[in-house]
Amino acid sequence: MNPAVTNLVLMLTMMQVAKKLDFEDPQVLLYARVGYVACQVIALAVYLITRAKINSKNDMVTLKYVEPANPFGGEAAPKATVTTVKEYDLKQVDTQIKGIFTGMAMLGFMHLYMGYTNPLLMQSISTVKSALESNIVKIHVWGTPATGDLKRPFKSAPGFLQQFMGGDNEVKTDKQSVEAAEKAGAGGVKED
The answer to whether residue 172 sits within a structural domain is no
- Judge whether 23 and 32 are in contact, CB under 8 Å: yes
The answer to whether residue 191 sits within a structural domain is no
State the total domains in the chain.
1
Average pLDDT of adjacent 10-residue blocks, the chain of 192 residues: 82 87 91 94 97 95 84 72 94 96 94 87 88 94 92 73 54 71 61 52
What is the reported pLDDT for 158?
Answer: 57
What is the reported pLDDT for 119?
Answer: 84
Name the burial class of residue 109, with classes exposed (0-12), middle (13-18) and buried (19+) by CB atoms within 10 angstroms of its CB: exposed
Domain that holds residue 114: 40-55+85-165
Please tell me the number of Cα atoms within 13 Å of 112 on its side-chain side.
7
Residues 6+ apart with CB under 8 A from 83: 62, 63, 91, 190, 191
What is the reported pLDDT for 183?
Answer: 72
* CA separation for the pair 92, 90 (Å, rounded): 5
The answer to whether residue 89 sits within a structural domain is yes
- The DSSP bridge partners found for residue 172 are 66
The answer to whether residue 74 sits within a structural domain is no
What is the reported pLDDT for 185?
Answer: 64
3-state helix, strand and coil shares in percent for the chain, rounded to the nearest 5: 65, 10, 30
- For the chain, the farthest-separated pair of C-alpha atoms sits apart, in whole angstroms, at 64
What is the reported pLDDT for 74?
Answer: 66
* CA separation for the pair 24, 114 (Å, rounded): 15
The answer to whether residue 144 sits within a structural domain is yes
The answer to whether residue 103 sits within a structural domain is yes
pLDDT tens track for 62-107: 998 888 777 676 666 778 888 999 999 999 999 999 999 999 999 9
The answer to whether residue 29 sits within a structural domain is no
Nearest to 79 by CA among 190, 168, 185: 185
H helix intervals, 58-156:
85-108, 118-133, 135-140
The answer to whether residue 73 sits within a structural domain is no
Please tell me the number of Cα atoms within 13 Å of 118 on its side-chain side.
10
* CA separation for the pair 64, 173 (Å, rounded): 7
